[in-house]
Every structure is written in structure tokens, then in C-alpha cells.
A and B are shown apart, each in its own frame.
Chain A
Amino acid sequence: MPESDRLVAVAAHGLAGSRTDLPAGPLSEVEWFDLVQGCLAADLVGFLAAAVTAGDMAVTPAQAEELAVLDSECVGLSLLVERRAVTAAAVVGAAGIDHRVVDGPARRLAYGDAGTRHHRAVRLLVSSRRLGDALALQGPAPAPVAGQAAHRRERLAVLSSVPGLAGLDGQPRSPASHGDAAIAVATEADLLARLGPAAVIDLAGRSVPVLTLEQQLVVASAEMAADPVTPLVQLRDVAELALCPDLDSAVARHLAESTRSAEALADGVSLAWERFDLADQTGLSVWARRMSGSRRSGPGVRSVARSSAPVGRVGFAQRVFGRGQPGEVPAAGLPLVPLTTTAAAPSGAPRSNRSARRQT
């Protein structure tokens, strides 16, 4: 099995209905090393540990022990990032600056308290009008220290827009003509206001405002659309959010439309369903497939531009890790997932994700 397929299967572990296949038995030491390094680079160690713990992937006792230690270390680093988010949110909130945690601990809304989703950094979204104030509260950036691990400032980014939705930030738009009179298009409300009210989670005894499930899904999809190479863990986030029982897909679609990111949402959900071979269709996935598929097959500039996007995404592992043979890269034209499900599980190896149950 190509390493890129293993990574995809690990990233898909726990997703209901995924038909990706995990490695059949214990990997050789070389294969194991490559897989662990790949998971480390892609922030997938937690999913690998979950797969092993669930008995969905066989490992040797030594591999299991190594993985448990590594998983704990990654979770510990994620908690440090969460601490940073809690502190920054408290400071910004005390200054009366409206804010939302975009990712990092915000993903607990979808993943719960299971430490499968590790993160190295977190972003705090504030109004563009208060961005300067919020940045000033973080203090001056310290000088980098050679050889030092990610500094606390690198673990937190305060911003007023995100890639893919930057055009909605509160920047003045160019004038538009209306009859003989040129009128200025009203400055749009900034992204924080456009996204709407926050959800609140409890972290370390503090109430921390975070993006809602729907907002996280729209933002993650928009960011994927803005990036030619999609990290697997970000694609997993989209799938996790889209499959979350608490997600209101109608709200997500409405939000995507109001932020001009409906195409990005459709493409993101479609891509997640394709890459993780998700058998279970939802209203959102059917809508996304229809919308995304119709644009791919239709004429025009957009379909041409879109057709090239999956190439970079499919070749993620090869681009990031610089290994893999050309023949291992899946074809760019991924087949659409059929609406009918129920593909039978293979009778033998490799182990499959298809019996996976959602984590609660």
C-alpha cells in the first residue's frame, strides 16, 4: 500500500462510512517510521493512535509503546497552544474587543475532548477596527532564538480575516457606477460581524468564544479553496465538521452564500467525501456534489480553474514529504462518490475504516 494511501486512511479513521483501508498488519520498521513521520508532519498522530487503540490497525508492542508516548507529547503541546488561546482570549476580552477562536481548541466542538486532533497554533479573529488594539495587547514580538521550538507568539495569530474570506474584511471597495452617478459601494461589515454570533466553550474554567460548527466549516472550506495544496488534517476537519450531528447544514449553506463562499463549501465537502471515500451521504454532501460536479462538468473559466485544483491536493503527501513514486499518486480526476452506498467490506486484509464509529 502506498504511503499516501496509508496517510489518507489514518486521516479518515473514525469517520462514519469511510471505505478507506488501513494497513493489514504490523508494518515493517521502515514502513512504520515513514508512517509515523508522515503523521507527525501532517498532525495526524492522534488519529493514528486512535486507530491503534481501537484495534483497527495492528502494531507490535514496541510500536504501540512508541506511539503512546508520541501521542501524549503531541497532546501536551496542543494543550500549551490551548492555554495560549485561553490567555489571549481573556486579555482581548477584558479590553472589550469582540473575538472568536477560529481553530485549535475550537475544534473541540466537533471532536469533543478526545485528543485526536492535535494543533500547533491557534488563531484569534477580531474585528478589523480593533485589530491594532488586539495586536498591541500581545506585546512586542520577541527576537527569535536560534534552535528554539515554536515561540509562544508563533503559536497564536491574531487576525481580522482569513484566506478565502479576506475579501469580506472591512476594506473599502472600488466605486461602482449607477446610472450617471458614481457611488461608493458601502464598506462591508467585517468578517467577524458577517460570520455572526459565537459559540462558547469552557476551557480551564473560562468561557471562551469560538466559531460555531457552521462557521468553522465555512471558514475551513474557504481556506482550502484559497490554498492549492490542502493538508489532510484540514480535509479531515471539513469531514468531521460536515458529519457532526450538531451541525445545521442549512445554516452552513446560508452562511456560505452570505459570505460568497458557497462554491468553496461545496468543493470542500465534495473533496472530503471523495478523498475519504465516505459512503454515507448527507443532505450537505449531496448538495455539495451536485453543485461542485455541475461546475466541473460545465464550460467556462471557473471549471478550468477548478479542474486543476485537485491535482495539488491529491499529491499532498508527495509534495510535503518528497517521496512516493509517480505511480503512487492517485489520478487527478477522482471519481465522484456514488449516491448508493453499501459497498461490501472485503473479506480479507487490509483492515478497513468502514466499520469505524464516530467518536463521541
Chain B
Amino acid sequence: MTAAPGRAAGRWARCGGALSSRTSSGAVVLPAGGDTAVALSGLEQSVWAHAAEPVTVDTLAPLADPTSVAAALERLAALGLVHEVA
């Protein structure tokens, strides 16, 4: 069973195959296999950038308050941009 993003004790990493570009307000990412690019907020872009290597939620703590980080992780996971790793 996968724990809820942000509250997971595990680590999180990027899903492969996504294309991205930075923009004035954050980043735009095209998930692997997706036909629609999505705009990421500044925090989401930061979380996604950190997840280039597997990271724990604790590692992401300096980015923002835990609730915001959890929400960012949750959205990134829903978009298929990050996934939980062992």
C-alpha cells in the first residue's frame, strides 16, 4: 500500500521520461506518455527538481511548511511526475 504523499516515511523520486522547461512562474512539464503539458508552481518545481534523486519528505522540509510540501508532492504524484521508491 502506498502511503499518502508528504506523510510517507519512504522516499520520492521523479518518474522518467518527462520533458520540462522553466518559466517565469515555475516550470511547465510534459509527463511521459502525456499529451498535455502542465504548469507547476514555484514550490512544485522545486520539489520536482529535488526529486531528481530520491528524497525523503524531511529533505524537502526547508522548501516550505509541511502542509505545502505535502500538497506539492500529492499533485506531482497525481500528475505522474513523481513516485514513491523503496
Interface residues of A, Cβ cutoff 8 Å to B = 49-50, 52-53, 68, 71-72, 75-80, 82-83, 86, 113-115, 203-205
Contact = CB atoms under 8 A, between A and B. Distances in A.
A78 B29 CA distance: 11
Given A72-B25, A76-B28, A113-B20, 18 more contacts: A50-B24, A53-B24, A68-B25, A71-B23, A72-B23, A76-B36, A76-B38, A76-B39, A77-B37, A78-B21, A79-B21, A79-B37, A80-B30, A82-B30, A83-B19, A115-B21, A205-B16, A205-B17
Given A50-B24, A115-B28, A76 B37 contact: yes
Main secondary structure of the interface of A (DSSP, over half): helix
Most buried by A among B19, B20, B24, B36: B24
Contacts of B28: 72, 75-76, 79, 115
Given A75-B37, A204-B16, A114 B22 contact: yes
Most buried by A among B17, B19, B28, B39: B19
B37 A113 contact: no
A49 B21 contact: no
B77 interface: no
Nearest to A67: B24
Contact of B20 (A49, A52, A79, A86): A79
Contact of B23 (A80, A115, A203): A115
Contacts of A77: 37
Nearest to A117: B21
B45 to A, nearest CB: 11
A114 B27 CA distance: 9
A346 B35 CA distance: 47
5 contacts: A49-B24, A71-B23, A72-B25, A76-B38, A79-B29
A52 B24 CA distance: 9
Contacts of B78: none
B61 interface: no
A204 B21 contact: no
Contacts of A75: 21, 23, 28, 37
B50 to A, nearest CB: 16
Contacts of A83: 19, 30
Contacts of A72: 23, 25, 28, 37, 39
A49 B21 CA distance: 14
A79 B32 CA distance: 11
B71 interface: no
B18 interface: yes
Contacts of A86: 19
Most buried by B among A71, A82, A204: A204
Nearest to B17: A204
Interface in B52-70: none
B16 A115 contact: no
Lowest 5 CB-CB distances: which A-B pairs, in order? A76-B37, A115-B21, A53-B24, A79-B30, A75-B28
Contacts of B23: 49, 68, 71-72, 75, 115
Given A204-B17, A205-B16, A76 B30 contact: yes
Contact of A203 (B19, B24, B35): B19
Nearest to B18: A204
Contacts of A79: 19-21, 28-30, 37
Most buried by A among B18, B23, B25: B23
